């Protein structure tokens, strides 16, 4: 008898664990980030942020289930299958990376599960077709960022640009979006070079760029590998402006770059320079709030724009969930559909990266208030006014 | 291309090539003595740079933990071997090189005191060098008689273990160590950075030291004897285990020096070592993994080819460098110059 009771208890606990533990009525959100692997520096900050996310939306308790896809596409797909099938999540937030987010699209539309991706590429939500009906995202797309750069170039008399980028999808994506925009604004790309993340020297490419005598150089790379071309430019005595992408907006870039990256111009989400934003900027208040909470976390260090994307996803959910709750209870297919519809209808959600207004044709919903130009001055980020 | 660009490219190629030379020479040395293709050679380079950067930023370098844990495993293996052979011979030496030395170095590293630059470099080199024999003892010594293919697979496994621990201990971000020598001078009316000069000079000096070591010292001659004929060397009293550990210590020391040399000129990540080692390997292949001067010249050629192809066709640079291996292998296999390692 005694033994049987023990077995029963064990079974009960086991099944509770298998079914994802939370009682069914709570809202369940699956978060997939890349906290290890090559993109770890992106995902680690998001992993950390989960602790400070709201514990309830519209009076409904939220269970955040955090999974790490190790920067691997196959793992992301596996995790999504588990979250949808076993944990019965109402929505997936993430993954952190573009390829991983794209890989989930089929699963989402088949199972009717909405996703708020944290990855950069516009391809995740554009165009909003049958496959992308369930996909939304919070980070500014590369196209929007490229626009900010080209505008700044055009208004500062840059007529010719030397371009150097990663020899991968990130670099090619930028080469394309910059090429088209630059042409429209009468800016000529006079040299276009590639380098590897792992390269130990880019002297050849830089000599070529300087040889073409451009008004400015644009480096399309992310993280600390983006330092190398700039260090080599400095070594060769290049004094004209250098532009980078928002892929470098973390403190490791400043640490590794040191004095070689002084004066670098880049577009970034407003949260990077929250304190310096003019008081009228809609992102200022939410960005300061996020920065306060995030920087108080142990070992978090300075704010991360990547972490802010997750924070904004939570703000969008906060605005969308109460509406969806009017139609159905969490944990049901009806609720997931209601949540999707309600996210598509969110209007003027003021967040750290700008103001989100979704529509049936725009599943990102950011406008030009979502980015600012920033300059690196004496080792910190300075807002360019 | 004008003359000055040509000059800069040659300079750049020589600087990177000089590091590849060091790695290629290590690969040849380790392969001839132990028949191991030392895939993790690059990890010595990246670990040294990351550890030195850790000292510079007053952090406790994660390498200390690898040393302590791997040293502990190595000593446990020695103990087990001694117990099975019912002898205590060699235990004292093992206790020193696998326990006492790593513990002392780790204690110095983890103490977190502000050290002068020279002490940081010395400590870094000492730690990485100590790691070499420990790795040989743990990963290769138990299977030293296996065929080169098995040894290669073990080397690849060790490489993944080291890269994984590197990510865990050093984190995903890269480092750049402080410049050793700032400034530049003029050679043939062309500015040359002191750092570049130093890399080339250090590489040259190390190669001369190695040449002297293998040519004129008893230990060096013993290693050469092992390389020529393992069984014969054993018969005249050269322990192959000892030879293996000494070779690994040398390879680790040279790797550590390479790491310290290139740390200031490029960004090093926990996984940067592999691609460096691979390019050194291309150089070593040119020497058939057997001949030092050919391997060194081959590695230099890889550096120069890389510099020029990054100027002419940057998108295809890696393709060009690694394609180089195909005609060389073809030529070597037709010229019957390969080391026939399966028939000793």
- H or E element: which one contains A22? none
B312 touches chain A (CB under 8 A): yes
In a domain, B153, yes or no: yes
Which residues of B fall within a CB distance of 8 Å from A224?
173-174, 267, 269
B173 touches chain A (CB under 8 A): yes
Q: Are B273 and B44 in contact (CB under 8 A)?
A: yes
Fold classification of A143-268 is Rossmann fold (3.40.50)
A201 touches chain B (CB under 8 A): yes
Query: Taking 50 as the threshold, does the pLDDT of residue A120 lie above it?
Result: yes
Which residues of B fall within a CB distance of 8 Å from A203?
8-9, 11-12, 307, 310
Which residues of A fall within a CB distance of 8 Å from B175?
256
| A94-116 per-position pLDDT tens digit | 899 888 999 999 999 999 999 99
DSSP state of B37: -
B277 touches chain A (CB under 8 A): no
In a domain, B343, yes or no: no
- Three-state SS string across A207-263, please? HHHHHCCCCEEEEECCCHHHHHHHHHHHHCCCCCCEEECHHHCCHHHHHHHHHHHCC
By C-alpha distance, which of A267, A225, A247 is closest to A366?
A267
Q: Are A342 and A58 in contact (CB under 8 A)?
A: no
Query: Taking 60 as the threshold, does the pLDDT of residue A11 lie above it?
Result: no
B265 to each of B16, B168, B176, B260, how far by Cα in Å? 10, 24, 7, 10
| B120-146 per-position pLDDT tens digit | 999 999 999 999 999 999 999 999 888
Q: What is the pLDDT of residue A274?
A: 92
Which residues of B fall within a CB distance of 8 Å from A225?
174, 267
Round to whole Å and give the CA distance between A233 and A225.
14
In a domain, B342, yes or no: no
Half-sphere exposure of A295 (CA within 13 A, CB side): 13
Which residues of B fall within a CB distance of 8 Å from A249?
none
**Which residues span the domain enclosing B123?**
3-335
Helix spans in chain B (H): 3-34, 41-56, 63-85, 91-94, 101-110, 117-135, 148-170, 194-216, 218-228, 230-235, 240-262, 272-286, 292-312, 317-323, 325-335
Query: Taking 60 as the threshold, does the pLDDT of residue A335 lie above it?
Result: yes
Which residues of A fall within a CB distance of 8 Å from B276?
200
Which SS3 state, helix, strand or coil, does residue A71 take? coil
- Of the partner residues B5, B269, B315, the one whose CB lies closest to the CB of residue A194: B315
A41 touches chain B (CB under 8 A): yes
Sketch the domain layout of chain A as residue ranges. 26-140+296-370, 143-268
Contact criterion met (CB < 8 Å) for A204 and B310: yes
* A26-140+296-370 is classed CATH 3.30.413.10: no
Query: Taking 70 as the threshold, does the pLDDT of residue A1 lie above it?
Result: no
Range of weakest confidence among A6-20, A140-154, A159-173, A196-210: A6-20
Query: Taking 70 as the threshold, does the pLDDT of residue A25 lie above it?
Result: no
In a domain, B344, yes or no: no
Contact criterion met (CB < 8 Å) for B8 and A203: yes
DSSP state of A370: G
A194 touches chain B (CB under 8 A): yes
- Of the partner residues B173, B267, B314, the one whose CB lies closest to the CB of residue A205: B314
- Establish whether domains A26-140+296-370 and A143-268 are of one fold: yes
Q: Total domain count for chain B?
A: 1
Contact criterion met (CB < 8 Å) for B307 and A204: yes
For B174, which residue in chain A has the nearest alpha carbon?
A224
| A317-326 per-position pLDDT tens digit | 999 999 999 9
B193 touches chain A (CB under 8 A): yes
- Of the partner residues B5, B173, B276, the one whose CB lies closest to the CB of residue A200: B276
Which residues of A fall within a CB distance of 8 Å from B16?
200-201
Mean pLDDT of A282-304: 89
CA distance A203 to chain B (A): 7
- Of the partner residues B5, B15, B173, the one whose CB lies closest to the CB of residue A211: B5
Q: What percentage of chain A reaches a pLDDT higher than 90?
A: 65
Which range has the top average pLDDT, A197-201, A372-376, B313-317? A372-376
Q: What percentage of chain A reaches a pLDDT higher than 70?
A: 94
Q: Are B225 and B236 in contact (CB under 8 A)?
A: yes
Contact criterion met (CB < 8 Å) for B267 and A228: yes
B160 touches chain A (CB under 8 A): no
Contact criterion met (CB < 8 Å) for B267 and A224: yes
> At residue A275, what are phi and psi to the nearest 5 degrees?
-65, -30
pLDDT band at A10 (very low <50, low <70, confident <90, very high): low
DSSP state of B179: P
pLDDT band at A22 (very low <50, low <70, confident <90, very high): very low
**Residue, of A37 and A275, whose pLDDT is higher:** A275
B20 touches chain A (CB under 8 A): no
Which residues of A fall within a CB distance of 8 Å from B167?
36, 40
A312 touches chain B (CB under 8 A): no
Alpha carbon dihedral A340, A346, A350, A352, in 10-degree steps, equals 20
Which residues of B fall within a CB distance of 8 Å from A258?
176
**Residue, of A198 and A240, whose pLDDT is higher:** A240
In a domain, B282, yes or no: yes
B110 to each of A86, A137, B51, B63, B113, how far by Cα in Å? 45, 44, 11, 10, 8
| A205-257 per-position pLDDT tens digit | 999 999 999 999 999 988 888 999 999 999 888 999 999 998 888 888 888 88
Round to whole Å and give the CA distance between B165 and B181.
31
In a domain, B150, yes or no: yes
pLDDT band at A156 (very low <50, low <70, confident <90, very high): very high
Q: What is the pLDDT of residue A21?
A: 44
- H or E element: which one contains A115? strand A115-117
Residues in CB range of B250: below 8 A, 6 or more apart: B26, B29, B132, B210
- Of the partner residues A208, A252, A256, the one whose CB lies closest to the CB of residue B311: A208
- Of the partner residues B167, B171, B267, the one whose CB lies closest to the CB of residue A225: B267
Contact criterion met (CB < 8 Å) for A40 and B308: no
């Amino acid at each position: 008898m005694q033994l049987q009771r023990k077995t029963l208890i064990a079974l009960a606990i086991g099944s509770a664990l298998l079914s994802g533990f939370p009682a069914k009525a709570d809202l369940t959100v699956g978060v997939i980030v890349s906290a290890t692997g090559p993109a770890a520096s992106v995902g680690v900050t998001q992993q950390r942020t989960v602790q400070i996310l709201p514990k309830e939306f519209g009076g409904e308790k939220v269970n955040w289930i955090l999974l790490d896809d190790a920067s691997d596409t196959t793992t992301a797909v596996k995790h999504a299958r588990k979250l949808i099938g076993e944990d019965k999540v109402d929505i997936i937030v993430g993954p952190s990376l573009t390829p991983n987010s794209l890989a989930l699209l089929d699963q989402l539309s088949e199972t009717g599960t909405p996703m708020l991706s944290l990855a950069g590429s516009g391809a995740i939500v554009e165009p909003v077709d049958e496959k992308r009906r369930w996909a939304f995202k919070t980070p500014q797309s590369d196209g929007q960022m490229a626009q900010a750069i080209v505008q700044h170039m055009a208004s500062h008399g840059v007529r010719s640009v030397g371009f150097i980028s990663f020899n991968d999808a990130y670099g090619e994506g930028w080469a394309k979006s910059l090429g088209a925009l630059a042409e429209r604004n009468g800016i000529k790309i006079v040299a276009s070079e590639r380098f590897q993340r792992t390269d130990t020297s880019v002297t050849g490419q830089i000599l070529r760029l300087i040889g073409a005598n451009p008004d400015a150089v644009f480096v399309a790379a992310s993280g600390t590998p983006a330092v190398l071309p700039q260090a080599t430019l400095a070594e060769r005595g290049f004094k004209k402006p250098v532009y980078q992408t928002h892929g470098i907006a973390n403190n490791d870039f400043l640490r590794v770059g040191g004095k070689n990256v002084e004066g670098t111009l880049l577009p970034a989400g407003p949260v990077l320079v929250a304190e310096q934003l003019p008081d009228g900027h809609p992102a200022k208040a939410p960005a300061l709030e996020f920065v306060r909470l995030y920087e108080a976390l142990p070992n978090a260090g300075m704010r991360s724009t990547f972490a802010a994307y997750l924070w904004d996803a939570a703000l969008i959910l906060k605005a969308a969930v109460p509406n969806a709750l009017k139609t159905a209870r969490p944990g049901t297919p009806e609720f997931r559909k209601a949540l999707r519809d309600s996210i598509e209808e969110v209007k003027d959600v003021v967040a750290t990266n700008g103001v989100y207004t979704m529509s049936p044709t725009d599943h990102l919903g950011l406008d030009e208030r979502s980015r600012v130009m920033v300059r690196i001055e004496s080792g910190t980020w300075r807002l360019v006014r | 291309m004008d003359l000055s660009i040509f000059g800069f490219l040659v300079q750049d190629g020589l600087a990177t090539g000089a590091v590849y030379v060091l790695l290629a020479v290590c690969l040849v040395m380790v392969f001839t003595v132990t028949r191991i293709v030392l895939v993790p050679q690059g990890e010595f380079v990246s670990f040294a740079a990351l550890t030195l950067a850790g000292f510079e930023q007053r952090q406790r370098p994660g390498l200390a933990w690898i040393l302590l844990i791997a040293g502990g495993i190595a000593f446990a293996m020695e103990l087990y071997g001694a117990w099975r052979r019912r002898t205590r011979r060699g235990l004292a030496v093992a206790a020193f090189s696998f326990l006492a030395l790593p513990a002392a170095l780790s204690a110095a590293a983890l103490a977190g005191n502000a050290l002068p630059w020279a002490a940081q470099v010395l400590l870094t080199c000492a730690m990485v060098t100590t790691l070499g024999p420990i790795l040989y003892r743990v990963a290769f010594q138990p299977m030293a008689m296996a065929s080169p293919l098995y040894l290669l697979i073990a080397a690849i496994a060790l490489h993944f273990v080291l890269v994984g621990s590197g990510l865990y201990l050093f984190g995903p971000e890269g480092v750049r160590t402080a410049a050793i020598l700032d400034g530049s001078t003029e050679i043939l009316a062309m500015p040359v950075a002191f750092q570049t000069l130093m890399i080339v000079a250090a590489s040259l000096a190390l190669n001369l030291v190695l040449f002297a070591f293998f040519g004129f010292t008893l230990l060096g001659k013993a290693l050469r004897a092992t390389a020529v004929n393992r069984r014969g060397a054993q018969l005249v009293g050269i322990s192959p285990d000892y030879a293996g550990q000494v070779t690994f210590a040398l390879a680790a020391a040279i790797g550590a020096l390479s790491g310290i040399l290139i740390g200031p000129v490029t960004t090093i990540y926990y996984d940067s070592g592999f691609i460096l080692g691979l390019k050194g390997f291309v150089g070593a292949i040119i020497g058939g993994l057997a001949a030092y001067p050919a391997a060194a010249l081959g590695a230099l050629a890889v550096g120069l080819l890389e510099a020029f192809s990054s100027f002419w066709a940057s998108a295809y640079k890696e393709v060009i460098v690694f394609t180089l291996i195909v005609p060389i292998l073809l030529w070597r296999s037709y010229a019957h110059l390969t080391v026939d390692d399966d028939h000793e």
